């Protein structure tokens, strides 16, 4: 089966992890700050907080921004559950802004219109979580203008998008979001097995996220309210979790980051071949890059309206041919959990219409030319 995504592990990655295993620290050692600094330097952000998943990174971002009961957080329905669940962890309500049918990210006109209505109704969002779907940056520039005008914060869910750029700067480096989150799950651009990271240009948010990552405890005497009764002394000022990344994972991440441009170049080469090969087929292809480079985490296609076979039949046909297709995403508001909170099918029609015809084809840096041609041949055979 040619997987839709998978990790690329080289001998130097294995050596980096082995070196940590032979060292004094498996966790809470020097590899985590080294990884944070490496990612921060790569994207051009001043502060990075590594955690054990992007889900945790979204949670600590919401905590740092004081999301709580009575607040509402808006995100895209075309995303993984975690983009919305992070607000629920904090006791806040969730709402969604429908997507643009072409770029599949949160629609700026829909956001603008919903904000005007929310202002009139007296319930503006505290935080907006745009998602860089498939590795393509959401439209952060107009979103920042709206955030400043209406007074909400932006947590960019860039789980798909380390290495992407927007208006000439790296996602996470331009500072248009208050916090930017990456995921390092094995299907993503680089991996730490499980792992995530939150970037920010605001030092107070970085500190609050560090505290939330590790029990809310501090060993910094400048932050203490009491007098240390010995060098072992620590204090807890807020409620935190254990969301720490291990040194083993961080060393893997630092080693992977050295090859990120190679990984991205291969993803773009595969995309270029697919775009050419599929041009005459009844498929809606992912939109070409605009306003920056996509990290191309996914290659989601949609069956064109003239395809009469249903999506499931095409999906199963491709699987039977050894192509590890997937579907991204079931609109979050259609999940039973969110339906029980009052959302209904039909609430976000663009996300639902996209989902009904979507299939994600394999795209990852480890695909050989033969893998790519096998995918193309299978897609042609299914749609012929």
Ligand X SMILES: Cc1ncc(COP(=O)(O)O)c(C=O)c1O
Give the residues lining the site for ligand X (CB under 6 A): 53-55, 79-80, 82-83, 131, 157, 159-160, 183, 185, 196
Q: Where are the alpha helices (DSSP H) in the chain?
A: 11-21, 31-43, 54-64, 82-89, 108-121, 140-150, 203-213, 247-257, 260-277, 311-320, 336-339, 349-356, 369-383
Neighbours of 158 (CB within 10 A): 33
Residue (209 or 376) nearer to ligand X, CB: 209
**Least Cβ distance, residue 383 to ligand X (angstroms):** 27
Residue (160 or 357) nearer to ligand X, CB: 160
**Least Cβ distance, residue 58 to ligand X (angstroms):** 6
Residue (133 or 278) nearer to ligand X, CB: 133
Residue (139 or 218) nearer to ligand X, CB: 139
Q: Which residue do the tokens 């979103």 mark?
A: 143
Residue (55 or 218) nearer to ligand X, CB: 55
Interatomic CA distance for residues 54 and 20, integer angstroms: 23
Residue (50 or 283) nearer to ligand X, CB: 50
Interatomic CA distance for residues 330 and 133, integer angstroms: 13
DSSP character at residue 175: -
Interatomic CA distance for residues 211 and 240, integer angstroms: 6
**Least Cβ distance, residue 159 to ligand X (angstroms):** 4
**Least Cβ distance, residue 224 to ligand X (angstroms):** 33
Bridge partners of 143, per DSSP, are none
**Least Cβ distance, residue 76 to ligand X (angstroms):** 9
Do residues 176 and 147 lie in contact, with contact meaning Cβ atoms separated by under 8 Å?
A: no
Distance of CA 19 to the CA centre of its chain: 29
**Least Cβ distance, residue 188 to ligand X (angstroms):** 7
Interatomic CA distance for residues 232 and 217, integer angstroms: 12
């Amino acid at each position: 089966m040619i997987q839709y995504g998978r990790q690329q592990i080289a001998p130097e990655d294995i050596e980096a992890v082995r070196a940590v295993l032979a060292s004094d620290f498996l966790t809470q050692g020097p590899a985590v700050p080294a990884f944070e600094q490496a990612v921060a330097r790569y994207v051009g952000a001043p502060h990075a907080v590594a955690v054990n998943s992007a889900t945790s990174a979204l949670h600590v971002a919401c905590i740092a921004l004081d999301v709580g009961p009575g607040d509402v957080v808006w995100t895209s329905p075309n995303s993984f559950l975690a983009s919305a669940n992070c607000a629920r962890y904090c006791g806040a309500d969730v709402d969604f802004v429908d997507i643009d049918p072409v770029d599949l990210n949160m629609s700026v006109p829909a956001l603008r219109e919903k904000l005007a209505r929310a202002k009139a109704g007296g319930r503006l969002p505290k935080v907006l979580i745009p998602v860089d779907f498939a590795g393509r940056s959401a439209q952060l520039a107009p979103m920042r203008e709206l955030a400043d005008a209406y007074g909400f914060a932006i947590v960019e869910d860039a789980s798909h998008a380390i290495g992407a750029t927007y208006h000439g700067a790296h996602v996470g480096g331009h500072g248009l979001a208050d916090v930017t989150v990456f995921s390092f799950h094995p299907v993503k651009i680089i991996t730490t097995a499980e792992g995530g990271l939150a970037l920010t240009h605001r030092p107070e948010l970085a500190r609050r996220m560090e505290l939330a990552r590790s029990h809310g405890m501090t060993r910094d005497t400048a932050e203490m309210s009491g007098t240390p009764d010995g060098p072992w002394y620590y204090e807890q000022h807020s409620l935190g979790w254990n969301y720490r990344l291990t040194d083993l994972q961080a060393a893997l991440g630092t080693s992977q980051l050295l090859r990120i441009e190679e990984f991205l170049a291969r993803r773009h080469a595969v995309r270029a071949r697919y775009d050419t090969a599929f041009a005459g087929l009844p498929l809606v292809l992912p939109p070409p890059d605009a306003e920056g480079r996509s990290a191309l985490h996914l290659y989601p296609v949609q069956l064109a309206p003239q395809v009469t076979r249903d999506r499931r039949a095409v999906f199963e046909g491709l699987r039977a041919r050894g192509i590890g297709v997937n579907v991204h995403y079931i609109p979050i508001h259609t999940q039973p959990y969110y339906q029980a909170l009052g959302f209904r099918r039909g609430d976000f029609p663009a996300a639902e219409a996209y989902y009904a015809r979507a299939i994600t084809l394999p795209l990852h840096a480890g695909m050989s030319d033969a893998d790519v041609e096998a995918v193309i041949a299978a897609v042609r055979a299914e749609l012929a």
